[in-house]
Amino acid sequence: MQLFMCKSKIHRATLTDANLNYEGSITIAKDLMESADLLPYEKVQVVNINNGNRLETYVIEGEEGSGTICLNGAAARKGQTGDKIIIISYAIYNKEEAKGHQPTIVKVNDQNKIVSKTTSKEFIPDYSFSN
């Protein structure tokens, strides 16, 4: 049996741009990608907290330290600058791997600067929505 599990996520990132005229994807600052264990061209799900839209696309590396989170191409229709989003990556694990799996949760502030990174099974979601 193989299980499709959350590998990592960037929680409550702020969209810094939406570029309709660029080839499709999401641009993410390099330091955020590395912290969330994301690779260029990796498939991700993007969940827009402001409007409920969900989409799947792939990651393009943005400038390190820039805080860039930009929806590109058709995906740009799913959000606008200032929207809060969650970026989720998934991986396939066998049952034994899944039992010990610990997703990486990266929380950011309103400027997309990392405020915490959790990789513990004891992770308890923080629903206070404060940054």
Catalytic residues: 25, 58
Whole-number Å distance between alpha carbons of 26 and 110 = 18
Whole-number Å distance between alpha carbons of 92 and 89 = 11
Longest dimension (CA), the chain: 44
